[in-house]
Amino acid sequence: MQEIIQDDKQLFLYLNNLGSQPFDQFWIMISGTWIWVPLYIIFLYLLYKNYQLRNLVFILIFIALGVTVSDQLAGIFKTGIARLRPCHDPALDHLMRKVQCGGQFGFYSSHASNTFFIATLMSILLRKTRPFLPYLLFLWAGLVSYSRIYLGVHFPMDILMGALMGFFLGGFFSILSLKVIYKREQAGSLK
């Protein structure tokens, strides 16, 4: 396990030190929440167009539940595992670029979990009408996730675990959404 942690730190240092000050604001923006509001509005429009208002309400409920579960699980892991963020690790003090810093613990990344959750859920819900969308969504999730390494707030393993959790939660909540929609459509056709 120590060897994996050491390799994770070395990979972090390599990726983090690829950055340079002129690009810092770009990656801070990529990591931010409000910059993506227009993208979320596009998601809302695409879901509405494909599922209509009646079903959209249920999808939004499942999205809210999924993001909440994703965030809460990340918080449980962070305090339970108590792995210091890179920016709080004294062994990395003079070796890394600190652009931002967050709370004390960082395993696993809720940014990665939430973006991969949304990417997976949207990919599954819209794959029939928008087959190109998964490529763009996972590129977006990957960029947001990398920004966390660039800024110095997460190790690669934090990102990988967050991405996996988001992927599984996105799959789970999209299947729940589709089951509810299917049952509602079945019940509507029986009337």
Answer whether 0.85 is exceeded by the pTM. Answer: yes
Q: What are the pLDDT digits (tens) for 125-143? A: 999 999 999 999 999 999 9
Hey, where are the domains in the chain? 38-190
| Tokens at 130, concatenated | 């928008």
Residue 183 in this model has a pLDDT that exceeds 90:
no
H/E element, 24: helix 24-31
Q: Average pLDDT for residues 88-113, to the nearest whole number?
A: 93
pLDDT of residue 1: 78
- State the average pLDDT for the chain: 93
Helices (H) and strands (E) in the chain — how many of each? 6, 0
Q: Are 135 and 182 in contact (CB under 8 A)?
A: no
